[in-house]
Structure 1
């Protein structure tokens, strides 16, 4: 492995050629990944890939004039401290903002390389070409803004915003809502059954804690294993599983925490149960609101489905515990 300061002019030009070729392939990978979700931005990255190809041809012409047709097999990995590309393009369904940021970083690093390469080159033609390429890459550093505004029409931006909203719902709202519903509803029966059977806050809290954590782990694994996101566009299964598991646990803990009221407090059971029942109502109304807000469910229908169903589960737990 060689340091950049040890490279010859021939190796510098060859490295620039292979770098432009690789960057062009990366931009085309971004375009393919975005084609269905953000077609307008995908076209921008296709054009950027074409620009990288033009840069490569200019460099090749300059190289052949000076050194002939043979390129030495030098790559980024062969140079100490040379810019490295994080292989984010290997991940499907990347967020658009992540791709934009990666493109900015790539163009900034390329500009820095061309500036250093220009300073190391004595040939007038090569210096001019490298300086021109550095200026071009500097203009590309605003790629995020260009993709977001200047290159996209108002209609395209509106469509991409709708797509972004759909992706948000698929990756965060749906698994979070499923977890919150399961955690809030499925833990009601064991919690209130334990509460009315023992009328002991400490034991009830332990039952509720175990139910919430157990449900969170179960739902997290179930969500992560149900879909890898490659076909549905629902994003990373690990992220969805974490969101679903966390919201499940929080849904169960919400009405469990009131049973932390010490048994030494007078009317401890009534106080804890009253607070817990109030929290349950808040949770069920919150779930109904989210369903109406993000899942296009009429609010009254969501209230009937969630609140009424949750109260039935709560009543079942109370009856079982009091039997």
Structure 2
């Protein structure tokens, strides 16, 4: 186990023969082509133009592989040794495509550019390790093909994703972000900030005890966060609605619900009741302003409507808490 982690069972790159270098290059091109096709499949529904970019990149990698196989056959015959990047110490690694599956499209494009840069460095190092003129020329040509004046991802991106298409894809990415994170997070923040007002302030005015109020606020916030998180994750798997991963939505909703309630529960850690209540009320105003800002910025709700909805709802719940607490 330790030897695997330390890479002690891997071959040093300098120990590879010319045939093994060609075999390593062939397997690497095969892996990269599969990764690009996986990216294309992932992006095809929402970003068809970017998907076309990765399909063409996969075709390019397939051409590289074919040229390498031809050179291997001419130099060493048909039998290609089995050697992969994980067998070589210090050789660059590729993240499996499933780790990139839920990443934003810009992150995937950047990953492709990083892949090319590392492949360029490999071919330069491989060319220095070969003595055969034709093999050295092929490896040098592939290094230039991977690098070029601009990366292949960027060149194909300019060809297939002009400004209007990139703007459309950016809008799609923003919409997915809103549906997956902002909308459930906002619902959670509103629920946590508003719904916990009544029990927290009712307890505060009924008991006058800051520690009891804090415990009630803590339990209400955590309980509401768990409830909202499970509800959000369970009621929609995101397949038909396109709202994204239920786990991500559930986490966004649950965490923001708990934060919304804890905001005005934590001030009751202050022993002085009057000071604690004053700070808690001030925090409530901040929370309501943040909710209104999110509605205006992300949901495009007019400021007047957002403020009216949040302030009215918060005032009604706060008044209910005070009346019940003083009953």
Compute the TM-score of the two structures, normalised by the length of structure 1. 0.86
Q: Give the aligned partner of residue 247 of structure 1.
A: 256
**What SS does the aligned partner of 2:91 have?**
coil
Q: Give the aligned partner of residue 184 of structure 1.
A: 193
The offset of 1:61, in angstroms, is 1.6
Q: Residue 322 of structure 2: which of 305, 318, 322 is its match?
A: 318
The offset of 1:176, in angstroms, is 1.7
Q: Give the aligned partner of residue 135 of structure 2.
A: 126
The offset of 1:282, in angstroms, is 3.7
The offset of 1:27, in angstroms, is 0.6
CA root-mean-square deviation: 2.7
Q: Tell me which moved more, 88-97 or 184-193.
A: 88-97
Q: Residue 279 of structure 1: which of 274, 277, 283 is its match?
A: 283
**What SS does the aligned partner of 2:69 have?**
helix
The offset of 1:190, in angstroms, is 0.9
Q: Deviations over 1:219-261 (max 9, x none)?
A: 3444455556566554555544443333222211222234344
Task: Quickly say closer, same or farther: Cα 1:202–1:151, change in 2 above 3 A.
Answer: same
5+ long unaligned stretches in structure 2: 1-9
* Cα distance in 2 for residues equivalent to 1:116 and 1:86: 22
Residues 107 and 141 in structure 1, CA contact (< 8 A), matched pair in contact too: no
* Cα distance in 2 for residues equivalent to 1:198 and 1:75: 69
Residues 105 and 141 in structure 1, CA contact (< 8 A), matched pair in contact too: no
Q: Tell me which moved more, 16-25 or 94-103.
A: 94-103
The offset of 1:181, in angstroms, is 0.9
* Cα distance in 1 for residues equivalent to 2:179 and 2:288: 21
Q: Residue 24 of structure 2: which of 1, 11, 15 is its match?
A: 15
Q: Deviations over 1:141-167 (max 9, x none)?
A: 735644665652111111011112112
Q: Give the aligned partner of residue 3 of structure 1.
A: 12
Task: Quickly say closer, same or farther: Cα 1:82–1:258, change in 2 above 3 A.
Answer: closer
Task: Quickly say closer, same or farther: Cα 1:14–1:321, change in 2 above 3 A.
Answer: same
The offset of 1:301, in angstroms, is 4.3
* Cα distance in 1 for residues equivalent to 2:235 and 2:82: 44
Residues 193 and 322 in structure 1, CA contact (< 8 A), matched pair in contact too: yes
1:152-301 map, 5 Å:
152-225=161-234, 234-263=243-272, 268-269=273-274, 271-301=275-305
Task: Quickly say closer, same or farther: Cα 1:203–1:159, change in 2 above 3 A.
Answer: same
Residues 187 and 252 in structure 1, CA contact (< 8 A), matched pair in contact too: yes
Task: Quickly say closer, same or farther: Cα 1:140–1:57, change in 2 above 3 A.
Answer: farther
Correspondence 1:48 to 2:52 = no
Q: Give the aligned partner of residue 26 of structure 1.
A: 35
Q: Residue 101 of structure 1: which of 110, 121, 124 is its match?
A: 110
Correspondence 1:79 to 2:83 = no
Residues 259 and 273 in structure 1, CA contact (< 8 A), matched pair in contact too: yes
Corresponding residue pairs, total: 318
Task: Quickly say closer, same or farther: Cα 1:298–1:307, change in 2 above 3 A.
Answer: same
Task: Quickly say closer, same or farther: Cα 1:125–1:56, change in 2 above 3 A.
Answer: same
